[in-house]
Amino acid sequence: MKCYQCGTCTADCTSANVNDGFNPRRMMLEYLEEGKLSELCWLCASCFKCYRCPKNVKPYEVMAEMRAEYIKMGKVPAYVKAFVETVKDYGELDETAFFIKLAKAGMIMDVSVILSTVRKRGVKAFALPKKSGCAKEVSKIFAVIERSFKDSLRDESRDEEGVKRPLVSGVPA
């Protein structure tokens, strides 16, 4: 395997710094050697500090791969689902719509975050959700790709292992 367990990634890692259990070196070993996913991947800060890996393993990409695996299995954290659905419906991350979706999923924002938003934006912090001009086109793009994804599960565009081939990008996630 490419990773030789030097620990450079862990030493530089933002998330390891604020969460004792978060150890990219160990996560690389377990995933790349044994294919073992770790829920901790959701706590990666996407800071790319681990680019210094002397073996160019790119732990930040491996973290993203693990998250994509979870999503494929349908194990999607509430905030990810709320984010994607907000973009799909509104064309952009309408904050009010996002916060409402989060609250519906039982996730309440940290009080200091809410206070800071209110302090900055005044009454506008309570603005009603508003679809941006591009919302229709964006929803359409989601629908077109999601439909062809469903089709691909039925027809021959499924490859030998039964995994969906990328429909558009030609580059696996």
Give dist(CA 6, CA 158) in Å, integer. 39
The least CB distance from residue 10 to ligand SF4, in Å, is: 7
40 belongs to the binding site for ligand SF4 (CB under 6 A): no
Among 9, 10, 49, 59, binds other proteins (CB under 8 A): 49
- Residue 131 interacts, among ligand SF4, other proteins, none and using kind-specific CB cut-offs from 5 to 8 Å, with none
- Cβ 71 vs Cβ 80: under 8 Å: yes
Considering only residues 47 to 66 of the shown chain, the ones binding ligand SF4 according to CB under 6 A are 47-50, 53-55, 57, 59-60, 63
Q: Is 127 exposed, middle or buried (0-12, 13-18, 19+ CB in 10 A)?
A: exposed
Give dist(CA 35, CA 14) in Å, integer. 24
Give dist(CA 87, CA 139) in Å, integer. 8
| Residue of 124, 36, 148 lying closest to 26 (CA atoms) | 36
List residues binding other proteins (CB under 8 A). Answer: 14-15, 17-19, 42-43, 45-49, 51, 58, 60, 64, 67-68, 71, 76-77, 79-80, 83-84, 87, 91-93, 95, 102, 107, 109-110, 112-113, 116-117, 120-121, 132-134, 137-138, 140-142, 144-146, 149, 166-173
